[in-house]
Each structure stands twice: as structure tokens, then as C-alpha cells.
Chain A
Amino acid sequence: MIGEDDVRYVAKLARLHLEQDEMRRMTGELAKILAHIDKMSELDTAAVPPTAHVLDVVDVTRADRVEPGLPRAEALRNAPAVTDDSFRVPRMS
């Protein structure tokens, strides 16, 4: 059963700040959803291969040809903060 400590840990993995009340609500909701999902454990799937993808396409490649990329100004166009033609971010702590 998932508890509030698990939720806090997963939120940290997901880089997701949750307010205290969100954390509490999320714990209840996730417990309920995961309980339903646990229905899967009724099935013996040991001998079943996994499906990651439905199409029989493997090793898709394209010609190794240089194509124009996004111009720097375009790439930076939506950035919240830009310095010296680069994305600006707060310092690492």
C-alpha cells in the first residue's frame, strides 16, 4: 500500500513540487488507482513476451546526410531566460 512517504519520494524523482494538501490527496488517489491496477497480478505472465511496440519495425535508419538544423535564434525564441546566445538557468546548488 502506497503511503505519503512513497508519494514524497516519487514526487522527488519526478521533479514535481506538491503542496501538502496535494500530497495527501494524491496518496489516497494513487492507492485507489494502484489497487485497481494490481488486478494484473491475477495473471500468470511469466511465459508471455512483453510488447513495447506494436509494429514489426526494427532498426529504422535514414540516409546519413547533413540537413539544416534549427537556427540558434529560433531555438532560443521561446526560452524563459537567455544569456550569451544560451539558455540561462539558476545555479546548481
Chain B
Amino acid sequence: MGALDTLRLTAREAKKLLVDGEVSAAELTKAYLDQIAAVEDRVHAYILVTADNAAKYSTKVDREMQAMRGPLAGLPIAIKDNMVTEGVTTTCASRILGNYMPVYTATAVRQLWDDHVVMLGKTNLDEFAMGSSTENSSVQTTRNPWDLATVPGGSSGGSAAAVAAGEALWALGSDTGGSIRQPAALCGIVGMKPTYGLVSRYGLIAFASSLDQIGPLTRSVYDCALLLRHIGGKDPRDTTSVESPEAVELPSAERLDGLRVGIPREYLAAGIEPGVRARFDATIARVEELGGTWVEVSLPHTEYALSAYYIIAPAEASANLARFDGVRYGHRAADADDLITMYERTRGEGFGAEVKRRIMIGTYALSAGYYDAYYGRAQRVRTLVRRDFDTVFEQVDLVASPTSPTVAFGVGSRTDDPLAMYMSDICTLPVNLAGLPAISIPCGLSGGLPVGFQLIGPAFSENRILDAAHALEAAIGFEPAPAFRDSSAGPEPGEGGSATVAAAGAPS
């Protein structure tokens, strides 16, 4: 068995290597730990690498393969650090959680542990998953492996960058307004937000409870389905979780005959970069080549969706984050001699700027005198956004759009303008307001950086989305070739980039 190419290996292939005895779980895990050792000092995808545990557990899987036989046994995974993991610190990339050591495990993670996956570590995120660039992390800024001067997107930027950099076989993220799909797009991988309720939120540290959903970040559409099959279902610990009317199937479609795709004109009007538009149009041409048809559709309330989202999400966040008060866990301000001062200082010291902004917007929107004008109205606009999708899905099977209006942007280029940062979610956040499933797949490069193609479906249409994405993926033939170069650092010195990476063929 030669060296494993962790930039290209899919979970489907890794599983076959394991089953055929070509590679052991320990060797597989070591390949990822080696790649982490080689590139992590440039990518900064992980908050915590659980290398010892991963090595030990993978050996145990090898030893007890008979007892631990299962569809995911021995496959290594990275977990976004807003899912609690018993005995492994969980930070949400926030100072306020300090060295929080969870005493229980998120259901989605527990399901994977029960299937004997090997956890590689916990990945970086925007603090409490609030952001679109991972720059709001209090720990570090993750870099995009395609160009280290750019962001990986967010908030699941650590998970996306880890997969794109070959530092993980696949990963779990969470998506409240695009936080799986947008970083997947910017890093050139697959990311899916399932229908609201399909995956239990128990143990996902809540940002906006009516919008949050856990989902996969993977190197292929098949892997996305494989992972999703093992994290879903009704959980008695999450009353909003449901059993999907149909089980998630492994996709095999090669054609799109009869598929009707709608392209919302409002999404294409939303300041899409020319390079992104060109890749999107080329992908729509593929849809036609594969036997599908497309038609322009309208989601007329799109421009109001952003406003509604930036009331609803902060309102829910301001309530959810009230629990961080320095009493039961996490950071507590020193030297406060009365309770209220302790609360105020703890929260003032513990939360970063973006989290404070959202707590303030949310508290304002829920406060007496403003509730009807902001929160009440936003909930009504949410109904209009849902109805837009209902109407469109009477005409078409799926809706397609670019995932992000732009490719990866420069580190620091949007941090001074919160509103500009919010705009980067315009094509993804209406999907969360409507609770729908959507996937992002890589559809080519623009200026050397990946472009994401988004497919949105009606509630519980995961199989339809995965089948279409699978057929398109094969037709597109995207080549994962992150350069690990820093475009802001000038010409590359002679021996930049690790040997593994150079061998993988970096684009010029």
C-alpha cells in the first residue's frame, strides 16, 4: 500500500481499503494525523487535535474489527467545536466557555461514536457559529488551503478547511444561515444542510434554535449521503427532531432526465461576481446535457429575507446565550462583589465583538415597544419567504443558485463592515428560514479559487438533491488541488509547501 493521498481519498474509497484489508484503521488515522502535522501550522483548522485518542482508538478498532464491524468503523472524522463531546473540551471558539469539559455528548456525535468512527479533533468556527469567515473565532483565524491569504468561509470554516486540506476524511458542521454550505463552497468541497429536524440538535450549543441544523462536509456527494444516513432520526432529547418520511439513500444517478430546475432571478441579481456567474452558467449547461431542464423562477421576498434573518437569528441567540453568566460553567469575571456586576462583567469579558452585536440586536428586537415592529414582523416575513419556496416547488423539482456571491475573500477585508459580511449569506439564509434541505458542490474555479453550486429542494427531498448533485458532480469532474500558498506573501520561495501537497499537483 503506497502513501494515502488524503487530499483526494473519499470515505467510500477509504472504507473499501479497510474492508479489503489494504489499509488498517490505524494507518488511515495516521495518514490524517501526518497531514495535520504537515500543514496545520498554515491552515489552523483545528482548535484541538485529539491525536493520542485517535491513534489509540483506531488501533482498538483494528484489534476488535469483528465486534466493531459497521459501515463507518475506523473512518476518521473532524467535529465542529460547537458540538459537546464528553471528556473532550468544547469551546465554541469563545472565551466565555473557558476550558468547558462537557459531561455529555451531542446525539449526532454519539451516533458516530457508536458506529466506531475515529474522532481526529474539534474544528475552529466563528464564535458561537456567528459569522461567515471564521475570523470571529477567539482562538485563531483559519486559512483557506487554496490561498492562505483568504478566509475559508464560515462559520464551519475549520471543518471545511480541514477536509479541503486533507486534514480530515470528512467532518460535521452546523448551518444556521449558510454555515456549512458557504465554507464548503469557498473551500471546494461538498456541504449539506439537511431539512430542519432531520438531525438532532441535542448537544449542539444553540445559536438560533429554529434555524440551526447539523450536517456533513465531505469530499464527495456519495460521502455526504453516507454520513447523513448515520446522524439522522428522531431523538427523544430534541423535541424538534423528526423521522424522515424516507431513509437517506446512497446516490447512484448519472442522468437528470426529467428534472426541472428553477433559477431564482433574485439570487442572480444579488451582486454575483462575474467569475462565479460564469461557473454557475456552465453548470446549468451541464444540467441540460444530462437531460434536465431549467426555467427562471421568482422568490420575490428574497431581499426581505436578510432583514428577517438578522432579527430572528439574533433574537433567538440573545435568549440562548443568556445561560452564559459565569455561574455553572466557563469564564467568571474576578472581583465582582455583587451578582449583577458579576453577570455583566463576565459577559462583557467573555463574548467577542460579533456575539455582543447580535446579543444587542436580539435584545433590542425583543424589548418592550419594539417587539411587534421587529421580531413580530420578521416572523411574518418568514412566512412570506416560506410561501415563495412553496410556490416555486409547484413548478420545479429543485432550485439552483451560486452558494456564495463571491469566491473566498481576503482575510481582514470585511471585518470592519458587519453588514457587508452579512450580505455574503444572501443565497443561503432564506433556506434556513424555510427549513429546507440544500447542498453545495464545487463546480469549478474562478481566479484559482473554488466556486460552489447550490441545489435547494422541498422539505425531506434529501434523496432528490443527492441524486442530482451526484450526477452533476461526475459531469463537472472538479479537481481538488489546494495550493497552500499565500497570495499576499509575494513569490513563493523555492521549497514552499509540503512534499505531499506538491505531489498532488498545485495549480500555478
Contacts and interface: CB of A to CB of B under 8 A. Distances in A.
Interface string B338-382: 111111110111010100110111011001000001101111111
B364 A79 contact: no
B397 to A, nearest CB: 20
A60 B364 CA distance: 31
A66 interface: no
B356 A16 contact: yes
B435 interface: yes
Given A6-B364, A15-B340, A87-B328, A40 B318 contact: no
B103 A89 contact: no
B251 to A, nearest CB: 25
B126 to A, nearest CB: 17
- Among B242, B338, B364, B383: residue with most chain A CB under 10 A: B364
Contact of B329 (A36, A70, A79): A79
Contact of A26 (B303, B330, B345, B357): B357
B243 to A, nearest CB: 11
A80 to B, nearest CB: 4
Nearest to A44: B380
A55 B339 contact: no
B419 A36 contact: yes
B367 A10 contact: yes
Interface in A43-76: 43, 45, 48-55, 57, 60, 62, 70, 74-75
B386 A51 contact: yes
- Of the four ranges (under 10, 10 to 19, 20 to 34, 35 or more), the interface on chain A belongs to 35 or more
Query: Which applies to chain B's interface (DSSP): helix, strand, loop or mixed?
Result: helix
A1 B383 CA distance: 27
Nearest to B322: A15
Interface stretch (B175-183, B221-229, B307-315): B307-315
Contact of B356 (A26, A37, A55): A26
Contacts of B328: 75, 78-79, 87
Given A30-B361, A77-B101, A49 B347 contact: no
Given A53-B240, A54-B196, A93 B377 contact: no
Contact of A43 (B322, B332, B367, B381): B381
A71 to B, nearest CB: 9
Interface string A1-18: 010001100110111111
B307 A39 contact: yes
B100 interface: yes
B339 A48 contact: no
B377 to A, nearest CB: 5
A15 B360 contact: no
Interface string B233-261: 00010011010000000000000000000
B329 A40 contact: no
A16 B344 contact: yes
Interface string B382-400: 1110100000000000000
B336 interface: yes
Q: Which residue among A32, A36, A49, A74 has the maximum number of chain B CB atoms within 10 Å of its CB?
A: A36
Contact of B330 (A11, A48, A80, A91): A80
B359 A16 contact: yes
A41 B377 contact: yes
Given A13-B363, A50-B379, A90 B336 contact: yes
A22 B356 contact: yes
Contacts of A60: 239-240
Given A16-B344, A53-B210, A74 B103 contact: yes
B339 A91 contact: yes
Given A45-B377, A77-B101, A10 B339 contact: no
Nearest to A88: B327
B379 A52 contact: yes
A50 B337 contact: no
B318 A15 contact: no
A53 B386 CA distance: 11
Contacts of A77: 101, 103
B404 to A, nearest CB: 19
Nearest to A14: B363
A14 B360 contact: yes
Contact of A33 (B104, B359, B419, B459): B419
B325 interface: yes
24 contacts: A15-B340, A15-B343, A15-B344, A16-B351, A16-B360, A22-B353, A30-B364, A33-B419, A34-B364, A36-B306, A39-B303, A40-B308, A40-B381, A43-B384, A48-B384, A51-B380, A52-B210, A54-B386, A70-B104, A78-B101, A80-B332, A81-B332, A90-B339, A90-B341
Interface of A: 2, 6-7, 10-11, 13-19, 22, 26, 29-30, 32-34, 36-43, 45, 48-55, 57, 60, 62, 70, 74-75, 77-81, 87, 89-93
